[in-house]
Every structure is written in structure tokens, then in C-alpha cells.
């Protein structure tokens, strides 16, 4: 059913915003035109939103494309990527196709990225460290000061990729200001989650201008994975702060309802700072997926 909430997709069931929907309807009639000017304007709007320059922005078809471009870039020189287990994995097959191997460190006891363990795992063969914060699928957060310190040190040896797909839910400070001054740091953002535009496929990188140029060189047409319609939707979404706040509040309420239910059913769960919850189904003897359907 089109109205189903797909719990395994981490989608925003409340979006797109009314402003984005209006922009989509108004823009699709101009889909016969390339979106050159619209993309440039969106880059400027995103740059202003994060206090960076347009030259620090690269658009992609979701932040997954940004991860893929970065993996391709780092694979040219070294062959190992370090991340945690579990962490977001959609891009892993692509990285493997580029000749990269994935090395995983365990999470801490409270299910967070273990920054000291990651730092210890970095060696001369390391091409990149990948950190998703808040982490998918655990929903846990590494505090920003500690992450900044780690990033500054690790980036002296390798590329550090910070996936900020869910930072808006957790109200976390972005590492954008660090990324634009450091050629070995890439921050990825997306309109797929809190902005409710997963189907529009629009994400972007924030990085040093020279790093952006290198990543852009792997695209057939720099930043043109974005369509006229998706750009219009994203641009309108950035202006609709009340919708974002409302979605945040509804998500918190929904999580509390889930927590209450988990406790009643004696199901172990991890409190989440994102819009999803990881919980255990070990005590459920039935076919859980079929039961949920």
C-alpha cells in the first residue's frame, strides 16, 4: 500500500513538506530544460545554510552517490576502509568493486563508534575512515567534540568521511566548518531523511574546494545528478523550518510510543537519536517480518 510506513527504510512518513510539494508541481512542467541555474542557486542556498561557500558543495543523487564518489577517489591510492560493525552498508559493494576492503571495529559497550579503536586501526594502507553519526542502524551518537578531535587527528593520515544523514534529528552540530578547511575530510548531507525527499534522490558533499573538484571529476556532469524537480523540492524544503521542527517532534513522540511497547513486550532496544530504533526480536518465535506485514 502506498500509505504504508516502511520501518526498514528510515523514511520520513510526514514529508515532503507542503512547500516542497508545491514546488514539485510547479517545476515538473519545465523538465524539458536542464537545471543549470537552479542547481547553482540551490548550492548558494545550501552554502548559506551551513556558513560555507558554494565551491564547497557538490550535489549528488542522494548522499549514497557522495559516498561512492569518495570511495572511488580514495581507491586510486590505497585499499582499506575502516568503519564499525554495524554501520551503514549500502555503499560497501560499490567500494569492494573499486578494489577496497572493509575492515570493521566493534562498537563500544553503549553501541557507539569506538573512536580510539578506529584510530588504532588506521595504518599506512588505510584509504578512508567512515563514520555515520547518528549511526545507522543503532541510532547512537558520538559527541561532536570527541568526533572533531578524532577527525582532525585521523585526517592527518587518511580520508575521513562523516555521514550526517540524521544529524537534524539529533540536533547535532555539523562538521561542515572543519571539512571546508581540511582536504582529507568529507561531510555528506541528504534531503532524504528529515526533509522527506528520499524518492527525489538528492544529497550533497561539503568539503574543501580542491576535494570537491576531485570528487566532481568522477561525475559525467558535475552536480547534474540532481533533476529540476528534486532541486525545486530541496530549495523549498530549506525554507520550511516549521515543518522540520514539527517532524522532529512527531518522531520523538513516535519513538516514545515504540519504547513503551517494547518494554511491555520485554524486548531489548537501543534508545535512538535518529528516526529509527534497533531492537531485538530474539524472544519472538514467529516469522517477525510476516507478522509485521
pLDDT in tens, 105-141: 999 999 999 999 999 999 999 999 999 999 999 999 9
Return the pLDDT at 4: 76
DSSP letter assigned to residue 211: H
3-state helix, strand, coil in the chain (%, to 5): 45, 15, 45
pLDDT category at 292 given cuts 50, 70, 90 is confident
Residue 15: the pLDDT is 84
pLDDT band at 156 (very low <50, low <70, confident <90, very high): very high
Q: Does 188 or 4 have the greater pLDDT score?
A: 188
- Give percent above pLDDT 70 in the chain: 99
Q: 4: how many CB neighbours lie within 10 A of its CB? A: 8
What is the pLDDT of the chain when averaged over all its residues? Answer: 95
Long-range contacts of the stretch 254-258 (C-beta < 8 A, 24+)? none
Contact 203, 188 (CB under 8 A): yes
Model confidence at 5, pLDDT cuts 50, 70, 90, reads confident
In angstroms, rounded to a whole number, what is the distance separating the alpha carbons of residues 18 and 7? 23
Contact 255, 50 (CB under 8 A): no
DSSP code for 33: S
Mind listing the pLDDT tens digit for each residue in 208-263?
A: 999 999 999 999 999 898 999 999 999 999 988 899 999 999 999 999 999 999 99
- Tens digit of each residue's pLDDT (9 = 90 or more) over 269-286: 999 999 999 999 999 889
Residues in the chain: 293
**Helices 36-50 and 228-238, axial angle in degrees (round to 10):** 30
| pLDDT value, residue 6 | 81
**Is the alpha carbon torsion for 117, 121, 148, 197 positive or negative?**
negative
Torsions phi, psi for 99 (to 5 deg)? 95, 10
1 has a pLDDT exceeding 70 = no
**Strand duo 203-206 + 101-106: pairing:** unpaired
Q: Is the dihedral of CA 139, 152, 120, 63 positive or negative?
A: positive
- The residue ranges of DSSP E strands in 87-197, in sequence order, are 101-106, 126-132, 159-163, 185-190
Quick check: 2 pLDDT over 90? no
Q: Taking CA 205 as the corner, what is the angle to CA 113 and CA 97, rounded to the nearest 5 degrees? A: 70
Mean pLDDT of 99-103: 97
Q: Looking at residues 172-198, what average pLDDT do you find?
A: 97
Question: Tens digit of pLDDT for each residue in 28-62?
Answer: 999 999 998 999 999 999 999 999 999 999 999 99
pLDDT in tens, 59-80: 999 999 999 999 999 999 999 9
Amino acid at each position: 500500500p502506498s500509505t504504508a510506513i516502511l520501518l526498514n527504510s528510515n523514511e520520513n512518513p510526514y514529508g515532503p513538506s507542503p512547500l516542497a510539494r508545491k514546488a514539485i508541481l510547479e517545476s515538473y512542467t519545465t523538465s524539458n530544460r536542464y537545471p543549470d541555474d537552479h542547481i547553482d542557486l540551490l548550492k548558494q542556498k545550501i552554502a548559506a545554510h551551513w556558513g560555507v561557500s558554494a565551491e564547497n558543495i557538490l550535489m549528488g543523487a542522494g548522499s549514497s552517490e557522495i559516498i561512492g564518489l569518495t570511495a572511488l577517489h580514495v581507491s586510486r591510492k590505497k585499499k582499506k576502509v575502516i568503519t564499525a560493525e554495524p554501520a551503514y552498508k549500502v555503499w560497501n559493494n560499490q567500494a569492494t568493486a573499486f578494489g577496497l576492503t572493509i575492515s570493521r571495529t566493534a562498537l563500544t559497550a553503549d553501541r557507539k563508534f569506538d573512536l580510539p579503536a578506529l584510530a588504532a586501526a588506521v595504518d599506512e594502507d588505510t584509504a578512508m575512515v567512515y563514520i555515520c553519526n547518528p549511526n545507522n542502524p543503532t541510532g547512537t551518537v558520538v559527541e561532536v567534540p570527541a568526533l572533531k578531535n578524532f577527525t582532525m587527528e585521523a585526517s592527518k593520515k587518511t580520508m575521513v568521511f562523516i555521514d550526517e544523514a540524521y544529524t537534524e534529528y539529533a540536533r547535532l552540530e555539523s562538521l561542515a566548518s572543519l571539512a571546508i578547511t581540511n582536504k582529507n575530510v568529507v561531510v555528506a548531507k541528504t534531503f532524504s531523511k528529515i526533509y522527506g525527499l528520499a524518492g527525489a534522490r538528492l544529497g550533497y558533499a561539503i568539503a574543501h574546494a580542491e576535494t570537491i573538484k576531485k570528487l566532481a571529476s568522477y561525475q559525467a556532469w558535475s552536480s547534474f545528478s540532481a533533476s529540476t524537480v528534486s532541486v525545486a523540492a530541496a530549495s523549498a524544503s530549506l525554507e520550511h523550518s516549521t515543518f522540520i521542527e514539527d517532524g522532529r517532534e512527531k518522531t520523538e513522540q513516535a519513538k516514545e510510543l515504540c519504547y513503551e511497547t517494547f518494554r511491555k513486550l520485554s524486548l531489548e532496544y537501543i534508545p535512538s537519536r535518529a528516526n529509527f530504533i534497533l531492537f531485538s526480536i530474539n524472544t519472538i518465535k514467529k516469522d517477525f517480518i510476516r507478522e509485521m506485514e
